[in-house]
Amino acid sequence: MIKTYYCNSNNELKETTSPKDIAEDKKWLWVDLNEPTEEEAKVLVDYFDFHELSIEDATLVQQRPKFKQYDDYQFVVFHALDLKTLEAEEVDIFIGDDFIVTYHKERFEEIDTVKRKLFNQTINLEEPKDILLNLLDDIVDNYFPFIYDIEDKVFNFEDRHNIDISTKSLIDDTFDLRQELLIIKRTVQPMRDLVYRMREGKVLHLNEQQFLYITHINDHLIKQMEMVDSSREMTSDIRDNYISLNSFKMNNIMKILTIYSVVFMPLTLIAGIYGMNFTNMPELSWHDGYYIVLIIMVIIAFIMLTVFKRKKWF
């Protein structure tokens, strides 16, 4: 579907289906291609005459966030986050002095939000660069709920530590959380690099107010990356702590079993000697021999346990 919005010479915002239908002077033009058909996509060539490489990037290949300068326009790729899968959703933007074209193969809530602001006159858009910055701001701001949600999950691990939950379950949850953080980082980090290049490259020729706006967006991306990195470090610490705790418990179990084994070794030796049933074994004819041997075995075990306790082996 293709939608066209334009601002005429009287600063009135109007809507039409195709840029070819505009019959009056315009200050700027916004063409939104939402899940376009092949016929609708031809407007990129027939009306705007964009470079074939930028059209190929927009229509055929999944791109990382990027910024390209052409003769009379710039080509930008932004990534938003899908609400359910956390996968990146691509929107391709062609922007010139008096036009902006947004091309996306899925519905973009951020674009709809900018449209509502535009028609409700809650924002003042003097030129296409203002649309670009507002769209970028909404995309970046929508990263925050995902990042805050994961940060809350990380903090909740401390509460789960006091609940009787298996270490395996906690480790599995930690790895799942780290996987989500990695997916978000794959989107946020390239976007941060892109916005930094847009701000420092001076190719958009932003005015003072627009420069402050993109600096504000860049600050948000820096904060988001710091939150993601902090959460990844915390999950690493949680994982290492639980692995260490599990190893500590296992070592204690092995230590106790080893102590029991060592205590019973001399007792087993005594039992083995008197269990050989040789004829010439004088102790076998003792009337109280059984009880004497049992007492000796108890004394040996008590002495060994006392020595181990004094050495603080358990």
Closest among 77, 215, 223, 217 to 147, alpha carbons compared:
223
Q: How far is CA 154 from CA 150, 188, 220, 254, 279, in A?
A: 6, 19, 21, 32, 72
What is the second-level CATH architecture of the domain 1-120?
2-Layer Sandwich (3.30)
Residue spans of the domains in the chain: they are 1-120, 251-310
Residue 222 pLDDT = 93
pLDDT at position 164 over 60: no
pLDDT at residue 173 in the model: 77
Judge if pTM exceeds 0.85: no
* 170-211 tens-digit pLDDT: 777 778 888 888 888 888 889 899 888 888 877 778 888 888
DSSP bridge partners of 5: 15, 30
Please check whether the two domains, 1-120 and 251-310, share a CATH topology.
no
**Edge-to-edge strand ranges of the sheet holding 74-81:** 13-16, 2-8, 26-34, 99-104, 88-95, 74-81, 66-69
Phi, psi of 103 (to 5 degrees): -125, 120
Which bin fits 86, alpha (ψ -120 to 50), beta or left (φ > 0)? left
pLDDT value of position 221? 92
| Per-residue exposure over 172-185, b if at least 16 CB sit within 10 Å of its own CB, e if not | ebbeebbebbebbb
The mean pLDDT value of the chain amounts to 82
* Residue among 244, 240, 262 at smallest CA distance from 252: 244
In terms of CATH, what superfamily is 251-310? Magnesium transport protein CorA, transmembrane region (1.20.58.340)
Element (H, E) at 77: strand 74-81
| pLDDT for the residue numbered 5 | 81
Dist CA 313 CA 309 (whole Å): 6
Highest mean pLDDT among 7-11, 47-51, 174-178, 259-263: 259-263
Percent of the residues in the chain that have a pLDDT greater than 70, as a whole number: 94
Which residue type, as a one-letter code, is found at position 77?
Answer: V
Six token digits for residue 1: 């579907």
First to last CA, the chain: 74
159 confidence band (pLDDT: 50, 70, 90): low
Alpha carbon distance 5, 144 (integer Å): 29
User: Residue 168: its pLDDT value, please?
Assistant: 66
Q: What digits encode the pLDDT tens for the residues 222-271?
A: 999 999 888 888 888 777 777 787 788 888 888 888 888 888 898 888 88
